[in-house]
Structure 1
Amino acid sequence: MRFNFFSIMLLASFAMVVSCSNGDDMSSDTGKMTILLTDAPFPHDLVAEANVTIFKIDARNKDEETDDSFVVLMEQEIKVNLLELTNGITETLVNTDVPVGTYDLVRVYVKGVNVVLTDGTSYNLDVPSGEQTGIKLFIKPGLTVNGGLSADLLLDFDVSRSFVAKGDSKDLAGITGFNFKPVIKASNMSSAGTLYGEVITLEEEMAVSLEGAQVSIFTADTLNTTTFTDETGAYMVMGLMAGSYDVTVDIDGYGSQTAEDVEIIAANKTSQDFELIVSEEATGN
């Protein structure tokens, strides 16, 4: 489980997608790169905003053996409240042509990072090196851009580990500030997929959505990531490497449920729904 206060992924999270486009000229020396930002949902009862301003993004073309191997993708200020980007909602940061080649490193330059609590208290956070040298993210496997085409890259900015509360994180009055320690995962979407679905229960034979259900994704008994359902009972996790996963859903008052061997296919979406039953403890039986 992640830090109690932010029990999710931010950029769930920071997402950068270099999205697919159909091009006609395979011999072109450029391809299209689109960068999107997203955040996975998490219970944020004490937090109203988690803001970050991205003012530059560049990427290294490892096929270029020169000092100019870094390509500037964006140089403008874009302020985003990461809490507004959940369950597949994204913010477009970049849509530009880049030289063909394989990109193995991205640098994200940020400033203006702050957290606003639900009582209106605001904390401005220091950005260690991110404003001067950028936050360095290695892409494995490398992202290959071919002539006339583009590829997809997802950046998962983990709020739960990136924004660390000082003091008592369970009580507004106990929070004295935050430390900013950016944790961002870069996923090559040509080799990764998306898991989505909804969590419901039945009340008098009517389907009722369950908000705030924890969806945990495991690989060989190791927790890969965690997210939470929104007010419609829906969840979505992007950037999962292709393979087989066990998915467990928990929420107070209901019995947990696990779907085993859920197959994630590269560059595709996999649907997995859950129907939970009220626990005996909740019914008093």
Structure 2
Amino acid sequence: MPLISRLRSSFAALLTVALLPLMGCGGGEGKVTVLMTDAPGDNLKTAVVTISEIYLKGDDDGDDNDDDNGGDIGKAGGDDKGGRVVLLDEPVTVSLLELANKTSELVSEAVVPNGDYSEIRFVITGGYIEVKNADDSTTLFASSDDYAGLPEGARVDGRLHMPSFGSSGLKVKFSEKLSIEGEQKILLVDFDVAQSFGKEAGNSGRWVMRPVIKAAEVTASGSINVTLTKDGGVTLPTVDDHQVTLADFRAVMINAAGSREELVLADTNGDGTFEASFKFLIPGTFSLSIAGPAGITFTTSPAGPVTVELGSGKDITQAFTLISAQAEQQ
């Protein structure tokens, strides 16, 4: 069922990513990774498509034109109105049915301006399917007789019609705006291959690709940043001849399932604020606190654990201040 779904897997090679400006979005940047997976249809033996471009669109690009394909297609091609961020601009050919219960990375860490996005589009420039017949033979339908993705020596029996996907692109409207606010986001989209290919009525011998994508299942991973500073009146103790610093403390995150993760805090820019970032998180509820080194007792404001809600595509920060610290009594 998915065209882009689940988390983290590898593609044969990282794909070239181009960035075009997005007008109407706020300052700052995030990164987007797009993953693909799929589930087989009952009567399909092979389903291969070539995706030549993937891009995000903002809310105010003025491009709302649809063609006659059920309102799912919008104008692609040159767009001088802004509002477009290209995630992929080099063709990649994907065998959909080989991706059942697996994922493939289509886009790796494309830099995207922070802001709200209304849709993602896929420009599909070719493809073929191999259909199982009642007598166990197969029939091959391709977008053209010379489609580059065909296996060597393949005989094309009929035409796979792909209405406007090579020029207009397949439009996937998000049911809710996709908000990018820094750090890495992983897009999750559900593509139902079993419903996306069907035989045309009559005796034309054509099959038609009409992708079914459940945009309601689009989401994005988020990040939680934890910071720790020291109140001006606090003096950190020495324990076993070691002068304790904020670098000896750790950020602790526990998810709704009870899984615990700790990260070392570091002051990377020398401003006195120590930070740790939990990335690639599926939206949900998390508990955050600070863990200290052995041999001291301490308190923070706020006192942990602190419960936070992480939304789709969000990048949130929880700040802690160390307000007391002393060596444990021997």
> TM-score, normalised on structure 2?
0.45
The Cα shift of 1:180 comes to 1.5
2:84 counterpart residue number: 70
The equivalent of 1:132 in structure 2 is 167
- Unpaired runs of 5+ residues, structure 2, are 9-25, 63-79, 143-159, 222-282, 285-309, 313-330
Q: How far does residue 51 in structure 1 lie from its aligned partner after superposition?
A: 1.0
Could you report, residue by residue, the CA deviation over 1:202-250 in whole angstroms, capped at 9, with x for unpaired residues? xxxxxxxxxxxxxxxxxxxxxxxxxxxxxxxxxxxxxxx99xxxxxxxx
Report the Cα offset of residue 160 of structure 1: 2.1
1:51 aligns with 2:48: yes
Is 1:122 the equivalent of 2:135?
A: no
Return the offset for 1:37.
Answer: 0.9
Report the CA distance between 1:100 and its aligned residue. 0.9
Does 2:57 correspond to 1:60? yes
1:160 aligns with 2:149: no
* Identity fraction in percent: 32
- Tell me the alpha carbon deviations over residues 136-172 of structure 1, each in whole angstroms, 9 at most, x when there is no partner: 111122111112x13332222222221013579xxxx
Deviations 1:56-88 (A, max 9, x none): 01111237799211111111111111111122x
> Is 1:13 the equivalent of 2:43?
no
**SS of 2:161's equivalent?**
coil
1:18 to 1:136, Cα distance in 2 relative to 1, 3 A? farther
1:233-248 equivalent positions in 2, closer than 5 A: none
- The answer (yes or no) to whether the contact 2:2–2:37 under 8 Å persists in 1 is yes
* TM superposition shift of 1:129: 1.3
Question: For residues 96-129 of structure 1, what are the alpha-carbon distances to aligned partners after superposition, in whole Å with 9 as ceiling and x for unaligned?
Answer: 1111111111111002221113535210112111
1:91 matches 2:104: yes
Which residue pairs with 2:28 in the alignment? 29
Structure 1 unpaired stretches of 5+: 1-11, 20-26, 169-173, 192-240, 243-264, 268-285
Aligned CA distance change for structure 1 residues 67 and 48 (closer, same or farther; 3 Å): same
SS state at 1:160 partner = helix
Contact 2:192 2:213 survives alignment (8 Å): yes
1:157-207 per-residue CA deviation (whole Å, 9 max, x = no partner) reads 222221013579xxxxx994422112222223259xxxxxxxxxxxxxxxx
Kept after mapping to 2: 8 A contact 1:73/1:94: yes
Distance 1:117 1:166, change over 3 A: same
Larger Rg: 2
Matches within 5 A, 1:229-268: none
Q: Is the 1:17–1:34 Cα contact (8 Å) retained in structure 2?
A: no
Partner letter of residue 98 of structure 2?
Answer: E
**In structure 2, do the counterparts of structure 1 residues 156 and 80 end up closer, same or farther at CA, with 3 Å as the change threshold?**
same
User: Matched residues in 2 for 1:73 and 1:18: separation?
Assistant: 18
Distance 1:184 1:109, change over 3 A: same
Alpha carbons 2:27, 2:113 under 8 Å: kept: no
**What is the one-letter code of the residue matched to 2:112?**
V
Letter in 2 for 1:30: E
Give me the whole-angstrom Cα distance separating, in 1, the residues matched to 2:184 and 2:7: 7
- Matching of residues 158-197 of structure 1 within 5 Å: 158-166=192-200, 176-186=205-215, 187-190=217-220
How many angstroms apart in 1 are the aligned matches of 2:61 and 2:123? 22
- AA of the residue aligned to 1:47: L
Cα offset, 1:13, TM superposition = 2.6
Task: Provide runs of 4+ in structure 1 moved above 6 Å.
Answer: 63-66
- Distance in 1, matches of 2:6 and 2:177, equals 14
SS in 2 for 1:152: strand
Q: Which letter maps to 2:104?
A: E
